[in-house]
Amino acid sequence: MISFTTAAPAVGAAFVASLVEVVEAFTIVLAAGMLRGWRGAVAGTAAGLAALALIVVALGPLLDQVPLHSLQLVIGVLLLLFGMGWLRKAVLRAAGIIALHDENAASAAQTANLSYTTTRGLDWVGGVMAFKAVLLEGLEVVFIVIAVGAGRGLLVPASFGALAACVVVLAIGAMVRRPLARVPENTLKFAVGVILCAFGVFWTGEGLGIAWPGADLMILVFGAAFLLVGVGAVVVVRQT
């Protein structure tokens, strides 16, 4: 039986990280549906989800075959690459070096792309766009779930965290029927970047054979340090 305190960080990390990805996919699917018709957008979304399910079903069992230390090392390094990429971008956005991601602008760009596409195969164009969005953002969600859940038998709780994010975004999306521009995306990305970096250092170290003092508690220490460094970097870059 998995205790709440063990599962909560994985569920929370999967939920918050997935929230960002699902909002991005939702924006594109919404643009495709509103401009090209819902039949193509829904078909593309369904195809994307089916492709994702196939990938998970095909590759999921392989995870059990990989030795634990190798799995921890590979996932740790991928988490570092992924998480530090997010954190770097979030810091640069918060410091005003690069523009904040705007779901309204993203939606407008997608709409413009769709509008300028030739009308041959009307639903097909929107469907392909929805398919790509769902597949790519979905793969990121799958990776996050594996990263925070694998290695400690928390894949199922982490999956529930990601699923909850999908339900929340779809429920709010169905009500407002426009891009979810009020989601504080950069703040979420900042927080997720910090969490992924902390997990990344922890898993990479475990994979290399480091027995961290305090075991899982070190993730909190790493998280606090990355948060401090990230916030400090924003302040310094803004002032220079």
Partner 1 sequence: MNILREVAGGLLRIFVGDAWQTVGILTVVSLTGLLMASGSVRPLFGGALLFMGCIVVLVASVALYGRQHRDR
Instruction: By CB under 8 A, tell whether 128 contacts partner 1.
Output: yes
In 3D space, the residue among 212, 151, 169, 139 whose CA is nearest the CA of residue 10 turns out to be 151
Could you give the dihedral angle defined by the CA atoms of residues 149, 155, 159 and 160, in that order, rounded to the nearest 10 degrees? -100
**Residue 59: CB minimum distance to partner 1, A:** 13
Q: How far apart are CA 227 and CA 233, in angstroms?
A: 10
Instruction: By CB under 8 A, tell whether 19 contacts partner 1.
Output: no
Residue from the set 81, 156, 220, 224 that interacts with partner 1 by CB under 8 A: 81
Instruction: By CB under 8 A, tell whether 212 contacts partner 1.
Output: yes
* Residues in 146-205 that interact with partner 1 by CB under 8 A: 197, 200-201, 204-205
- Are 203 and 34 in contact by the 8 Å Cβ rule? The answer is no
Instruction: By CB under 8 A, tell whether 210 contacts partner 1.
Output: yes
In 3D space, the residue among 212, 169, 229, 193 whose CA is nearest the CA of residue 29 turns out to be 169
Instruction: By CB under 8 A, tell whether 23 contacts partner 1.
Output: no
Enter the tokens of residue 101: 């991601």
* Residues in 85-104 that interact with partner 1 by CB under 8 A: 85, 87-89, 91-92, 95, 97-98
**Residue 232: CB minimum distance to partner 1, A:** 9
CA 198 to chain centroid, in Å, comes to 16
Q: How far apart are CA 140 and CA 88, in angstroms?
A: 18
Q: Which is nearer to partner 1, 90 or 158 (CB)?
A: 90
Instruction: By CB under 8 A, tell whether 80 contacts partner 1.
Output: yes
